[in-house]
Copies of this chain bind each other. A is one copy, B any other.
């Protein structure tokens, strides 16, 4: 950590800052030249609160030489993390497809979709039981009944299930029944939830918040990793920008950035990112070309009558076509599907 001092910093102020550094068990390397005056901190700064020096008027800027995350950092963990879920591995050479409806609506719907997505090559079933919705007047999910239906679909198809946790009240049921617990974009910085998820031993699918930087996503992953749960899968699902044609702006650059900075697997949700079913295919293909480890895609057998997000759901036959194209793209980038 480097403290760039203000040109007008006086000796008394600097001496107070040096005192604080020493109290933290660190040493100071002072560098003073015509154009700059710096205090470099020597010692283990890895767990220093980043804001700790920002209030001094004598300090112009605080420069972090190292990233603020440790456990999620590729520097300290050069190999890709591979996460085993039942018989599948996420983060290895094989691309994984998670597919299913936005929300579980009834037994017939979820069993039928589960059958279809399995038939066309998805290895995981997604489906919302508890649905966080912008409007209190929108369908809020079947809740625990939805969870039961997901379990039934798993029993019938063998597909591991992925569903979002919206309240810690149901953590136990999720740990018992769910194969990958999803943290939704709106809860990416719900730190109480992240801390609890760090204490369990289930894979967590952590979605990037629509206004979160990649660094913040990694800091949220750090909360889970630090708690002891190393099974974190990141998910890019679009960020909020001024462009209003799409629901969000899918930030595919985040894929190579995450791959460089971290060892964690990363998948893409083209359905929520775009909000339009006809954009799912091109964005799914682009995601794999950009290096993503998988996709989570909304599939519905009757989008016009879906209780949630029908506009961004593709029909099963569209998934079939997409899978054919994804195979070609995966091969082009040296991967299987």
Q: Is A22 an interface residue (CB 8 A)?
A: no
Residue on B nearest A60 in the bound complex, by CB: B65
Q: How far is the CA of A305 from the CA of B51 in the complex (A)?
A: 10
Q: Are A241 and B239 in contact (CB under 8 A)?
A: yes
Residue on B nearest A130 in the bound complex, by CB: B192
Q: How far is the CA of A254 from the CA of B252 in the complex (A)?
A: 12
Size bin of chain A's contact surface: 35 or more
Number of copies: 4
CB-CB under 8 A for A252 and B250, given A34-B43, A285-B290: yes
Q: How far is the CA of A288 from the CA of B311 in the complex (A)?
A: 25
| Interfacial residues of chain A within 277-314, with CB under 8 A of chain B in the complex | 277-279, 282-283, 285-291, 303-311, 313
Q: Are A256 and B243 in contact (CB under 8 A)?
A: no
Q: Which residues of A contact B (CB under 8 A)?
A: 1-2, 4, 7, 16, 20, 29, 31, 33-36, 38, 40-43, 45-51, 54-56, 60-61, 63, 65-66, 68-69, 75, 132-139, 166-169, 186-187, 189-192, 209-211, 213-216, 219, 222-223, 226, 239-246, 249-257, 260, 273-274, 277-279, 282-283, 285-291, 303-311, 313, 325, 328-329, 331-333
